[in-house]
Structure 1
């Protein structure tokens, strides 16, 4: 049975589509957004694997077994920053190596499921069951009881999400067997190659690289260009300090912010913008979006310098006249405007509309037409009708405007298996500049 959130009424599968404001789930074929991905060094979790986190997982504790943290842990900062603004995050544990915590107690060997220092925070408490025959074996992770078993001997113990048990014979009674020897892995630049390869198998909106490694941004740009231009996956990436990318698929930051209780460094602000970009619907802009609880901008830019900075392709923070810290404008790094690609291509809201058209058209084409429909006038008219449904939905949610059926022209290509489509659209932007003259009477 299908389900999820709706933005427009065009779901294909039977099911319940319900909106919950706290967790913005995907909308529909039109405007289905909210998925981000980031590679992060972790102290718990499977290495070299893509780990799915929902925005609720950090709050309800389901993230503990996956990545070793909850919303209230300092180590969850980047995940928390991202998931403030989107509903799903694919985390990839980017560090490799390290050691699993372990402990031998009598005939019982206990080994942490994952390498990392968080394995050293696992404690096993064993005690007589109330039947005075069997043994209760309790697994604690960071003081939280995460598993409880009642067994007669070691061989009956089953591995859980945190530890593996080995051995035979009697379970030793112990007030607290604490695992030790767990160490974190290390991050190498070539680990990111494995991450990028892994993400080719996943559908997402925005990738974030919250690292100050200067070798990474150009590699990520090449990846995003290939995904957008060759693989047909209309994604964007957020990186640190790379406005020279000059590409609509790359967003670059160089500022951070402080709250009363924590600091988001400039390269960490990548995580925030990644969530914002993934979570923004196609009819929304992040222009003037408030940074909740922010009290100070790191690398503050004076208003006199902001014009040149945004012309240079930066995604920037500034202060509203009432003191709120906000996003200045929702921009990417594309600045080399031409008659073929004007300044609209530097506007992330417009890019989201273009990307929606690209992604949905590909889905319609591959799902309903390739190898199924005849390439004659009747078949092309059916294809045009499907495209029109999509464009009218975009107009209904005010992502585009002034659209009519005449703006879609579908003809046969040069060969009999080719279809040529020309579409003329006018993306809608948000109000940004006010010019007002007040006359005295």
Structure 2
């Protein structure tokens, strides 16, 4: 089988990229070892984070780093045996999170986030996926005045610098928004610009069906079988070899399995995360995607139940599950909202692909003709799928990308 383009990886980034290429008349084969959207894209908090212009940095306060060292928190957990291997990534991540560097990175990152909702909107309408979307933002709930005031100040800065809209909630306003939350919270903050997705996997599948309606094909195959073939590329699949003149690597945390053999050395780290769905007790209702800010977990009212998501676990990408954060988060969540039984047979785990400068890798490979990269979106894969897909497709088709992609180019990592 031959095509114009092979896209490796059928998460939200790969599907969006394949879709944008197909919209421009390219013949595209999308290849993954599993079904579309069944890896990292399956289990996120379901937010299109228009407010997320500042990427998640590494803590700079030594007292906070020390507290993380006790390894007993919900928002972060680590495998001690993995730390030596993670030191190069973590040290570079910490260095880039310095206040001045972090602010510069946020300014370079912000244009991607600025177009996150609008680019999803185009595909959501074209794919007929409006029933999966809510457009009423999400909220943070605060237990202390210190946390509240710090976040209010940050929200005001984001509003001033980036036009982000928000609304402050006193205790009564929060209770009106969420009458079944316990009164341990003194107030909240409602981010008004983001959209939420009631079924992230369902959205990926809606985009896939749209891609297929344009003539695109999805086939299961082995990305590690990639090899140069003539003037192009070849990948082995369950239906035989597929060849194309151009190829996009959108394999998320597994991208290095393809890029490293080609001589590229991206310092790609992984933040693993977990989720579980719960039924509510009785007639309890959770109205908003809600974060318990000081404890570091999310509750999201999704199609499959109330999804509880955890923070980041630093471990070997392929190490067995250790859902200790989920157990910690569940114990706390049950004290603030009436959760009933678990609805999943076991906790879900996914791996977020992270670069040490907190920005994705988007652009042409510097040393191979017809090779393109689209990975490293960390916590914002769902948010940035359509933006990334459009940028890659425009560059590949000889159009001027609607954003300057220089800041996210692969060349910023030295081989």
TM range (shorter): under 0.3
**Normalising to structure 2: TM-score of the pair?**
0.24
Q: Which has the higher strand share?
A: 2
**Normalising to structure 1: TM-score of the pair?**
0.23
Query: Which structure has the greater CA radius of gyration?
Result: 1
Q: Which has the higher helix share?
A: 2
